Chain A
Amino acid sequence: MIPGSGSRRWTYMADPKSDSRLLEIQDLQISFHTYAGEVHAVRGVSLSVEKSGSLAIVGESGCGKTVTMQAVMKLTPIPPGEIKSGSIVFNGRELIHLSDRDMQSVRGKDIGMIFQDPMTGLNPTMTVGVQIAETLVRHRRMGKAEAWEKAVEMLELVEIPQASLRASQYPHQFSGGMRQRAMIAIALACDPHLIIADEPTTSLDVTIQAQILELLQNLQNRLGMTIILITHNLGVVARIARHISVMYAGKVVETGTAEQVFHNSAHPYTRALLRSVPRLDLPTRTDLESIPGTPPDLFVPPPGCAFAARCKSAMQVCLEHDAGPYRVGDNHRVSCWLWDDRNPHRSDLFLRNGGIDL
């Protein structure tokens, strides 16, 4: 049997320090049943985030990053969705089998969520203040007046000027950046342990994005909150995240600290992704390195590595069997056959990456 294949492959990643982990997802598999067939959207994702940590999940559209986080919030539409297997442990508690009713006490209270599009995330028929107060009344059992006061405080926390006036306005009276601040205020209202931000700045202009990132960073430093950031913007990742998980076609292909993933990227996909964006701080090159082809169809996921068809270093084994994960550094893991110990050039890779040999 090929090492790394089969169901036990993630078990050796178990870490004795797991009590410092706030969220741990193991071997999560989610499918969607459509008329055209079963879409294998998430195919065995394992990832974890430590208390007060910041994890970025990076990947392109359709890689399963949003579906994974929806499952954490128990927001997966079932049907058509189906959680096939896996475990999601949050604060020592298994969420996968939690009833919808029990989940309501976690969602909004222990885990806050910031969505990409602040217009759809907010209710257009309610004032912003009422929307913040609502969560406080529900989860904190506050009285209406107290909740309103706290709502105004929350708007001040996210640096909305004239907070008491703004609280009694409707979302359409807010600009895009202000709406995103209001969403952050709602997510933070109950003082959650974890914030999940799904593409929080994608719909914003770059100068407004800078303001929101600054705010998130300040809040993180001040409140010590744990944040999971879902994004495709590598610049945003570099700014916010201390740890990164790179996803491709429903799987995590590489995970490590920001420095490891950016400077010693071990997976060919990560490397190609980083080279395909031009950088403002470096002289321009004549040609961008582009990744040929498109991601695979998840109706019929390839049996081997999903990136193999687009990979410059692909070998026969990549097409037939999925790889790893292999440990290539402290907390740095990659799912790529290049790192198998039967690769005669593997030590060169370690030298180039400055990684550790095992």
Chain B
Amino acid sequence: MRDEIALEVKDLKKYFRVGRHAVLTAVDGVSFEVRKEEVLGVVGESGCGKTTLGRVAARLYEPTSGSIIFDGIDVTNVLDEDLLWFRRKLQMVFQDPYASLDPRMTVGEIIGEPIDIHRLASGKERVERIHYLLGLVGLNPEHANRFPHEFSGGQRQRIGIARALAVDPEFIIADEPISSLDVSIQAQVVNLLSRLQEERGLSFIFIAHDLSMVRHISHRVAVMYLGKVVEIAPSEGIYRTPLNPYTRALMAANPIPDPDIERVRAHVPLTGEVSSPVNPPPGCRFAGRCPQVADVCNREDPVLKEIESGHWVSCFLYS
């Protein structure tokens, strides 16, 4: 990991209008930075805004407000046609390897398309590049002539990774890249991503709901709840001393694959469910489910504060 900042988002917001008077606050004022060669994990439950965050940061969605700074350049308001260089440097890997590959294109065409768009190679060189990329992700050159339906989920995810790497990016946003895969295949893909990240010095945003996988792959972890980052800290720190009550609940809810531990572990599940992100009330979004809720939580919004070096948490317990 290096000190230079690869990607910085400042007070990023993305609202969706869902009715005449209803606004869905998918991402509501998120700020963080990702350094070069760093892996930032983003965890949270469905509807917390982690996927939207990834897509806004990649400029696939237009942000409602806030700014996105990539490599020192503000790309928030750059027009789409001037974004080609940014698209080359930042690529995405999507969750569903069935929906994210065009079924009518061969694997070679899928991986070749970004090479053509960015005019990186042609003719023999292009073919060689496709074969090299297939080898890089553990597939064979012969696979280039096949169609996506001939592959398993894990292999398809490898194709998606090869496509992202085709333009030699510096930054990858991977949105739940393993959650649709079987357990034994998940480890293969995570190891592949880790290896590529180290070998090629990539920066990464790894979005997932599986805490243990996120911890395994990330240098730092951000925990999201209803559009906001509630805690962000170095990976080991956040797992050793989770500070926000939500982070603690999330970890306690994760069952550990060991019957001896599970049998003696105290199970105090969170009550209630994630409230709606449409027209949220003032105050902390987690207040309704929080076991340590105080009066102030229903009135004011907590802000992220640095409690220890590099360990930020937004909760009134720490103010």
> Which A residues are in CB contact (< 8 Å) with B46?
205
How far is B191's CA from A288's CA once the two chains are assembled, in angstroms?
A: 7
Given A214-B267, A233-B255, A280-B251: A206 and B209 interface contact (C-beta under 8 Å) = yes
Whether A125 sits at the interface, judged by CB under 8 Å, is no
CA distance A263 to B263 in the complex (A): 14
Q: Are A237 and B215 in contact (CB under 8 A)?
A: no
Cβ–Cβ contact A294 & B154, under 8 A: yes
| A interface footprint on B268-290 (CB within 8 Å = 1, 0 otherwise) | 01110110000000000000000
List the A side residues contacting B215 at CB < 8 Å: 278, 280, 284
Known contacts A206-B253, A207-B249, A278-B212; decide if A292 and B259 are in contact (CB<8 Å): no
Contact A210 B267 (CB under 8 A): yes
Q: A280-B215, A290-B187 are in contact. Are A207 and B270 (CB under 8 A)?
A: yes
Of the stretches A3-11, A102-110, A268-276, A316-324, the one at the interface is A268-276
Is the CB–CB distance between A291 and B253 below 8 Å?
no
Cα of A139 to Cα of B97 in the assembled complex, Å: 44
CB of B308 closer than 8 Å to a CB of A: no
Verify if A330 is at the interface (C-beta below 8 Å from B). Answer: no
A61 proximal to B (CB < 8 A): yes
Residue of B nearest to A294 (CB): B152
User: B-side binding surface: helix, strand, loop or mixed?
Assistant: helix
Find out whether the CB atom of B187 lies under 8 angstroms from the CB atom of A234. no
Judged by a CB distance under 8 angstroms, whether A47 is at the interface is: no
Which residue in A60, A276, A280, A292 is a CB contact (below 8 Å) of B256? A280
Can you list, as one digit per residue, whether each of B176-188 has a CB less than 8 Å from chain A (1) or not (0)? 0000001111111
Given known A259-B259, A280-B239, contact A175–B188 (CB-CB < 8 A): no
Render B221-241 as a binary contact track against A, CB cut-off 8 A, 1 for contact. Answer: 000000000000001100100
Check A235–B256 contact: CB distance below 8 A. Answer: yes
For the complex, what is the distance from the CA of A276 to the CA of B267, rounded to whole Å? 25
Measured between C-beta atoms, what is the minimum distance from B265 to chain A in Å? 8
Asked whether, in the complex, the Cβ of A214 is within 8 Å of the Cβ of B255, the reply is no
- Write out the residue numbers on chain B whose beta carbons fall within 8 Å of the beta carbon of A235: 254-257, 262
Q: Which residues of A contact B271 (CB under 8 A)?
A: 211
Is B257 in contact with A205, judged by CB distance below 8 angstroms?
no
Interface residues of A in 258-305 (CB under 8 A from B): 258-259, 262-263, 272-274, 276-281, 284, 287-292, 294
In Å, the complex CA distance between A233 and B267 comes to 18
Neighbouring B residues of A207 by C-beta, 8 Å = 45, 249-250, 253, 269-270
CA distance A217 to B255 in the complex (A): 14
Chain B interface size, as a band, is 35 or more
Q: Is A213 interfacial (CB-CB < 8 Å)?
A: yes
- B210 CB to closest chain A CB, in angstroms? 8
Cβ of B24 within 8 Å of any chain A Cβ, yes or no, is no
Residue B258 at the chain A interface, CB threshold 8 Å = yes
Give every chain A residue within 8 A of B212 (Cβ-Cβ). Answer: 277-280
* Distance from B150 Cβ to chain A, minimum over Cβ atoms (Å): 12
* A208 adjacent to chain B (CB < 8 Å): yes
Is B69 part of the contact surface with A, judged by Cβ < 8 Å? no
Q: Are B183 and A277 in contact (CB under 8 A)?
A: yes
Tell me the nearest residue of chain A to B155, going by C-beta: A294
Docked complex Cα distance between A211 and B185 (Å): 28
A233 contact set on B, CB distance < 8 A: 255
Q: Does B260 contact A (CB under 8 A)?
A: yes
Query: Knowing A278-B212, A294-B154 touch, does A206 contact B183 (C-beta < 8 A)?
Result: no
B261 and A281: CB pair below 8 A?
Answer: yes
B194 at the interface (CB under 8 A from A): yes
The answer on a CB contact under 8 Å between B253 and A209 is yes
Closest to B235 in A: A284
0/1 string, A146-160, CB within 8 A of B gives 1: 000000000000000
CB distance from B258 to the nearest CB of A (A): 6
Q: Are A210 and B253 in contact (CB under 8 A)?
A: yes
Residue A138 at the chain B interface, CB threshold 8 Å: no
Contacts of B258 in A (CB 8 A): 238, 262, 279, 281
Closest to A289 in B: B187
Note all chain A residues with C-beta closer than 8 A to B261. 238, 281
The complex places the Cα of A259 from the Cα of B258 at a distance, in Å, of 8
B190 within 8 A of A: yes
| Per-position 1/0 for B208-219, Cβ under 8 A of A | 010111011000
Q: Which residues of B contact A236 (CB under 8 A)?
A: 255
Among candidates B45, B186, B256, residue contacting A238 with C-beta atoms closer than 8 Å = B256
Roughly how many angstroms separate A21 CA and B250 CA in the complex, as a whole number?
38
Which one of B191, B211, B256 contacts A287 once the chains associate, using CB atoms below 8 Å?
B191
B257:A272 contact, CB within 8 angstroms = no
In this complex, what residue of A is CB-closest to B211? A280
**A274-B257 in contact (CB<8A):** yes
Bound form: Cα–Cα A206–B260 in Å: 20
Minimum distance in angstroms from A247 CB to a CB of chain B? 13
Q: Does A232 contact B (CB under 8 A)?
A: yes
* A287 to B191 CA separation, bound complex (whole angstroms): 6
CB neighbours (8 Å) of B273 from chain A are 175, 177-178, 208
Closest partner residue, chain B, to A286 (CB atom): B194
Which residues of chain B have C-beta atoms less than 8 A from A210's C-beta? 252-253, 255, 267, 269-270
Q: Which of A217, A237, A288, A291 contacts B257 (CB 8 A)?
A: A237
Partner of A273 from the list B154, B184, B260 (CB cut-off 8 Å) is B184
Interface status of A239 (Cβ within 8 A of chain B): yes
- Which 8 residue pairs across A and B have the least CB separation, nearest first? A235-B255, A290-B187, A234-B257, A210-B253, A205-B45, A276-B187, A258-B259, A210-B269
Q: What residues of chain B have their CB less than 8 Å away from a CB belonging to chain A?
A: 45-46, 152, 154-155, 182-188, 190-191, 194, 209, 211-213, 215-216, 235-236, 239, 249-262, 267, 269-271, 273-274
Known pairs A205-B274, A238-B262 / 10 extra A-B pairs, C-beta < 8 Å: A205-B45, A211-B271, A277-B187, A277-B212, A277-B257, A279-B256, A290-B187, A290-B190, A292-B188, A294-B185
Q: Would you list 12 pairs from A and B whose C-beta atoms are within 8 A, ordered by A residue?
A: A205-B209, A208-B45, A210-B255, A235-B256, A237-B257, A262-B259, A279-B256, A280-B211, A280-B256, A281-B261, A288-B191, A292-B188
